[in-house]
Amino acid sequence: MNKLSSQEIRSIIGYSDYSDLCIAAERDKRNVSQFIKFLLDRAIKDSNGIIAASDVTFKNSKVIPFNRWYPYIEGYSPDFVKSLIKKYSIKPGIIYDPFAGTGTTLFAADAMGNSTYYSEINPLLQFLIKAKLEVLKLAHNEWRIIGNDLMLLKTKLLKFNHKENTILDRNYKNVFKNSIYFPDYNYKEILQAKSFLESEDDSLSKNILTIAILSCLIPSSYLKKQGDLRFKTKKELEKKIPRFSELLCAKIDDIYNDLTNGNTTVSQVRHNHTLIHANAKCINEVSCDKISYVITSPPYLNGTNYIRNTKLELWFLGHLRTESDLRSFRDQILTSGINDVKVSNLLQIDIESKSLLLSQTMVSLKETAYDVRIPQMAECYFAEMFQIFSGLLPKLASGARLLIDIGDSVFNGVHIQTDDILIEILQNIGYKFVEKTKLRERRSRGGQTVTQVLIVMAN
Ligand SMILES: C[S@@+](CC[C@H](N)C(=O)[O-])C[C@H]1O[C@@H](n2cnc3c(N)ncnc32)[C@H](O)[C@@H]1O
């Protein structure tokens, strides 16, 4: 290691930016030097494996043009999906991702010759996927035109002589009440940016500008996304919150560079990608062609809250108008946090009878729960998984495979073996277990070591 330059070490560990490294180290509950040692150690171990652990998080995607337009750390990387397609010799056919996120499965599958179906409940992520598909469907020589259009929009927008958008302002007050998320100087610019967008005709460059705006909302606010969205600490606030317009300028310039620097490493989208139903829980209602493979990473139990974490972006896009809109999204997402639990939404499925391991875990969860919603959350999570994968079974072609990237968790001191419980539930539905591979170790919120695995099942 002593012979390596700092540039080489950065490239091996996959972080070029020191502040990103600090954030990731904190998230992993290690100090920076322990974290670097850990990453180096892992990279060495992984260099002989087919699936590199570094591929199973979004970290790699942060430096890939297009993926960096709106960094989304909850995703896995395109290389991970490509390595799965290679490892399991997936033939051209339809791949379904019920939890598409930013669409990593779609784009990687396309590059490997596959069409996809997908579900994604969050309208922000649906918007990002759609815009990215539109750009990547174009031939490389057309990107320059879009880039130039984007620069024209930038010049017009950055005059900031637009009216502050009163509807967006009203929605903010309805949804967020008295919470102050932005410094006044940024809030005004954001309201103006919304009016500007509304005054422009629909176009791809306008959608790209919208992405640039969306990705500047959190950085120009008092909030920080570190796992979950939270207020910045006093120390973090010592650094002045950057001006929204300055962040936006830099973001647009990055995007313009991606569009015009002749980068041909990003492949053109050539296949069809269809949102078959926003909500994976409704897959049983869809009529579609037979699905050959499912590649997905479902939300983790007690993991990130995908709606709350994107509330600023959902508000800007007009999807949050009243406080009840937040609740209505929470009712639709896969229940994975205690605040998602709503007793009236409990499915009429005796889920404990489908998995012995789950019924044993539920005993410990009920014994230790300080909040009645804790065992209900686990019950809902697995019942909804049962609902999704039961609905999926008749849609599969014969010889289909499910590749599910999932992690276990620890809640209130109780270890929930999500992966093994899910395997038992899937077997109960009628799927056959093929294999389970460990992808990496993680740290739970309480600091315990938990794992991330790939489950393979067949129909
Ligand atoms: C772990 S993320 C997937 C990340 C994705 N693999 C990527 O690389 O971007 C899980 C996703 O499931 C979505 N989700 C949660 N409940 C859903 C539901 N009922 N139907 C469809 N999508 C849902 C969340 O919005 C989130 O984007």
Please give the structure tokens belonging to residue 412.
Answer: 């209130």
Please give the structure tokens belonging to residue 346.
Answer: 């409990």
136 backbone dihedrals φ, ψ, rounded to 5°: -75, -10
Instruction: Indicate if ligand 1 lies below 6 Å from the C-beta of 72.
Output: yes
What pLDDT is attached to residue 58? 47
For residue 128, the CA-to-ligand 1 centroid distance in Å is: 13
Give the integer Cα–Cα distance in Å for 384 and 259: 41
Contact between residue 157 and residue 191 where contact means Cβ atoms under 8 Å apart: no
Nearest CA to ligand 1 atom 3: 101
Q: What are the start and end residues of each CATH 3.40.50.150 domain in the chain?
A: 53-121+270-307+314-458
Per-residue pLDDT of the chain (459 residues; tens, 9 = 90+): 555 667 667 767 766 667 777 777 776 667 788 788 777 776 665 544 445 555 555 444 444 556 778 877 767 778 888 889 888 888 888 999 999 999 999 999 998 899 999 999 999 999 999 999 999 999 888 999 999 999 999 999 988 789 999 999 999 999 999 999 999 999 999 999 999 999 999 999 999 999 999 999 999 999 998 878 999 999 999 989 999 999 999 999 999 988 887 766 677 899 999 999 999 999 999 999 999 999 999 998 877 788 999 999 999 999 999 989 998 998 899 998 888 887 776 778 899 999 999 999 999 999 988 888 889 999 999 999 999 999 999 999 999 999 999 999 888 788 999 999 999 999 999 999 999 999 888 777 677 888 999 999 999
Cα angle 143, 144, 148; round to 5: 120
Give the integer Cα–Cα distance in Å for 277 and 222: 35
For residue 125, the CA-to-ligand 1 centroid distance in Å is: 9
Determine how β-strand 223-226 pairs with β-strand 228-231. Answer: antiparallel
Atom of ligand 1 nearest to the CA of 296: 6
Helix 166-176 with 323-332: angle, nearest 10 deg: 70
Handedness of CA 139, 70, 240, 31 (dihedral sign): negative
Instruction: Indicate if ligand 1 lies below 6 Å from the C-beta of 409.
Output: no
Nearest CA to ligand 1 atom 27: 101
For residue 129, the CA-to-ligand 1 centroid distance in Å is: 12
Nearest CA to ligand 1 atom 22: 120
Instruction: Indicate if ligand 1 lies below 6 Å from the C-beta of 381.
Output: no
Instruction: Indicate if ligand 1 lies below 6 Å from the C-beta of 78.
Output: no
Instruction: Supply the CATH classification number for the domain 53-121+270-307+314-458.
Output: 3.40.50.150
Instruction: Indicate if ligand 1 lies below 6 Å from the C-beta of 387.
Output: no
Contact between residue 442 and residue 450 where contact means Cβ atoms under 8 Å apart: yes
Considering only CA atoms, which of 106, 345, 97, 316 is closest in space to residue 198? 316
Instruction: Indicate if ligand 1 lies below 6 Å from the C-beta of 74.
Output: yes
Considering only CA atoms, which of 389, 379, 444 is closest in space to residue 411? 444
Handedness of CA 47, 48, 50, 51 (dihedral sign): negative
Which stretches of 127-272 are assigned E, i.e. beta strand? 223-226, 228-231
Instruction: Indicate if ligand 1 lies below 6 Å from the C-beta of 307.
Output: no
Instruction: Indicate if ligand 1 lies below 6 Å from the C-beta of 279.
Output: yes
